[in-house]
Chains A and B, each alone.
Chain A
């Protein structure tokens, strides 16, 4: 029987009247992979911070290795072997991987002078523990996200970690990288190290977890072996509602499509090194999915369609007319909108208010006399769009950074919809969005298609594509290799197709 490492007993945490955690109790055993799922605001981050000693609990206690603490300090938590890997990894982008791994270790031992041979040795030994291949001399800022994460994990191991807490570790990873990470995690489990990870991605949680725990509104609502849960049950526990997603039915006659040219047609679009000979069309009311592994070129395709990184050869037709998309302005002029992969850096002005973010594309529609901004018109437009997209906020003047992921994504959508696009290209539209909001966003997307907009969704979230698209294009190494009607294929088959014959 596995030994208990961490026991959380009746932890509650209040913040000025808000109950972030309400009597939460659970156990983490040695060598256990435990997943923590919950929507935004469920208390996940607070719970992690209590365990890490960053927040003292209002009541309850934490027992680590048999030692009970009513109030933990970060240094004690670290000494007991708890290491937290936050989403930003806390690495130094200007230093090498080896240095990132070893520097902290040296600092703790009060070293004044650096012996580079020793630094390399420490890093090499540490990374051998997880058996991966990362160039230790590379500058961390140049490394891909997946490698940076491995460096962060390796650094955690050097502190003699017994429990590693990972906060949304797979958000920025591709399928392949996720599998790599899981292999590493399983390897750690073999060594008796426990992992507690927090994730939104229910299907991944299912494949890696030994046990799963669900938080909702600060309370623990479910806890059991991974085998006892399925996706529907998990979604139900997380949101308290039945989440049933149905697919999307495309009805060509509903949009008078039978005589009209497609909204978007591309022919032999190429950008050497990224994608080649891409041809497809999107009709009014269709939701077409594009998927593929890392390097397949699907994001490059999205960027080309939107004029960020235009294709070098090939033709593009909007509504049957040949157009040239050489810049973002061209794309917008032809009614193409783009919801980007990374809403935080590419989709929103984080420091600005929600309202301003919503109207930023249609500023010219909010002008009054003399060409100056009319705050009345702006408020009208803001109200119209926040209502249409159900953006939940107390005040549209709050900074958009205060919103949850799902609501932020709605703001990005509102911004583009306000400009009445004909074609909407969406890249990873529900990345980092919790399950409840995800479903709502999917319904929203289907509604938009129902209004006649042609939608292209780039995603590696296969359930998402199966639920929202009527057609899916599979890309591999820059080419479209296959096309499916969602009615003719299952998710498993799609998954197989995605990963087959790549080596």
Chain B
């Protein structure tokens, strides 16, 4: 029973996270400071929010690489409009605007994928360029630095949760955005586990034709999926703009792979039908640690991409490796190690 618990994919990722943290911490105890933890939390929040959308798409058997394009479009356009109109209000309106734009762009994806049944990778590769290009062309390519940002957003960026004074005198804190991630994660978990919509996402990812025969509304479900991804990508983009206190139209796009890697590391299968919120969040933590903390180990930043690449290979190869290992063990041992749960038996 314990063995089964430890062989779960999520458990393995958790162990890797713990192991890596301990390793880094031993080499450089600065890793275990509150300041570092808060910084990791900030970075992880953004990746985490995007990863919830990626997770749902992966489970449904598709892949969406356009979410960064949606994010930047929504954020930059919103900031441009608000800044040009000297907006003085709070964060609510920006979030709503970005979410609405994100939703709209997500529906564009949904149109091509659900109605025209085009392959998801091709469609989203196309819309990634499309959205970003349209933004640069129609909205502009001016860079908004901190002074030019709507004051409401700057105030939001300064919001603090659990402020903490560091040994060197500065203060650091968690940012309330982490709540958005938590609420989102819980929501996605509930939908996936306890609603027919969630199960139909798994069904479609498992066997699309069987899902059709069983009477699932594939088109409707896919529209909801991609619209939802668009919505949260819009919100995610807005968070990036707010937290970084700048609106750079050339940012965000290019970070897709880290988010997808996080989901895959967490157990989502590129073939569809598998994935979990916990696993994805753990994957996000792992990627964030790698991206932000290798420096503490003295690893040059050029090597970060290398390590992330290795992790992706490891993460996708892990289930296969485990199966091969189990079979090898059985062959050498000659005895009945795993009972009928393993699909490979004598024939």
Contacts and interface: CB of A to CB of B under 8 A. Distances in A.
A297 B332 contact: no
A92 interface: yes
Nearest to A110: B196
Contacts of B211: 92
Contacts of B272: 94
B347 A103 contact: no
Interface string A18-40: 00000000000000000000000
Interface string A106-129: 111001111000000000000000
Nearest to A294: B347
| Chain A binding surface, main DSSP class | loop
B202 A94 contact: yes
A274 B346 CA distance: 5
A91 B209 CA distance: 10
A410 B331 CA distance: 35
B346 A114 contact: no
Interface string A301-322: 0000000000010000000000
A112 B197 CA distance: 7
A90 B214 CA distance: 8
Contacts of A108: 215
A104 interface: yes
B213 A297 contact: no
Contacts of B213: 90
A295 B346 contact: yes
A5 B335 CA distance: 52
Interface string A90-106: 11111100010001101
A297 B332 CA distance: 17
A142 B347 CA distance: 16
A311 to B, nearest CB: 11
B199 A312 contact: no
Interface in A244-299: 271-275, 294-299
A112 B346 contact: no
Nearest to B330: A273
Given A138-B341, A298-B347, A113 B196 contact: yes
Given A138-B341, A272-B333, A93 B273 contact: yes
A103 B347 CA distance: 32
Contacts of A104: 214-215
B194 interface: yes
A112 B331 contact: no
Nearest to A458: B347
Contacts of A478: 346
Contacts of B273: 92-95
A228 B269 CA distance: 54
Contacts of B331: 271-274, 312
A107 B217 CA distance: 10
B341 A113 contact: no
Contacts of B345: 295
Contact of B214 (A103, A298, A300, A312): A103
B169 interface: no
Contacts of A274: 331, 346-347
A296 B198 CA distance: 42
Contacts of B330: 273
Contacts of B202: 92, 94-95
Contacts of B199: 95, 99, 103, 114
Contact of A107 (B196, B210, B335): B196
Contacts of A299: 347
A275 B331 CA distance: 11
B274 interface: yes
B195 A94 contact: no
A90 B206 CA distance: 10
Nearest to A143: B343
A142 B346 contact: no
Contacts of A297: 346-347
B341 A92 contact: no
A107 B202 CA distance: 14
Contacts of B335: 273
Interface in B197-247: 197-200, 202-203, 205-207, 209-211, 213-216
A144 B344 CA distance: 10
Nearest to A142: B343
B193 interface: yes
A92 B333 CA distance: 33
B167 interface: no
Given A90-B210, A93-B206, A113-B196, A107 B347 contact: no
Contacts of A275: 346
Interface in A317-347: none
A112 B332 contact: no
B264 to A, nearest CB: 16
B169 to A, nearest CB: 52
Nearest to A299: B347
B332 A272 contact: yes
Nearest to B342: A142
B195 A92 contact: no
A480 B202 CA distance: 45
Contact of A90 (B195, B200, B209, B347): B209
A144 B274 CA distance: 20
Nearest to A92: B206
A92 B203 contact: yes
Contacts of A296: 346
A39 to B, nearest CB: 27
Interface in B172-198: 193-198
A191 B9 CA distance: 44
Nearest to A103: B199
Contact of A114 (B195, B209, B210, B333): B195
Given A92-B210, A275-B346, A295-B346, A114 B193 contact: yes
A271 B328 CA distance: 11
B334 to A, nearest CB: 3
A298 B347 CA distance: 6
A111 B346 contact: no
Interface in B294-347: 330-335, 341, 343, 345-347
Interface string B272-298: 111000000000000000000000000
B346 A300 contact: yes
Interface string A67-94: 0000000000000000000000011111
- Identify the interface centre among B199, B211, B333: most chain A CB within 10 Å of its CB: B199
Given A94-B273, A113-B194, A138-B341, A107 B214 contact: yes
Nearest to B335: A273
A94 B347 contact: no
A106 B330 CA distance: 41
B203 A114 contact: no
A371 B215 CA distance: 54
A426 to B, nearest CB: 15
A138 B343 CA distance: 11
10 contacts: A94-B272, A94-B273, A103-B214, A104-B215, A107-B196, A108-B215, A113-B194, A272-B331, A273-B330, A300-B347
Given A108-B215, A273-B335, 5 more contacts: A95-B199, A107-B214, A114-B195, A273-B331, A300-B346
Closest 8 CB pairs of A and B: A272-B334, A94-B273, A299-B347, A92-B206, A94-B206, A90-B210, A274-B346, A295-B346
Interface of B: 193-200, 202-203, 205-207, 209-211, 213-216, 272-274, 330-335, 341, 343, 345-347
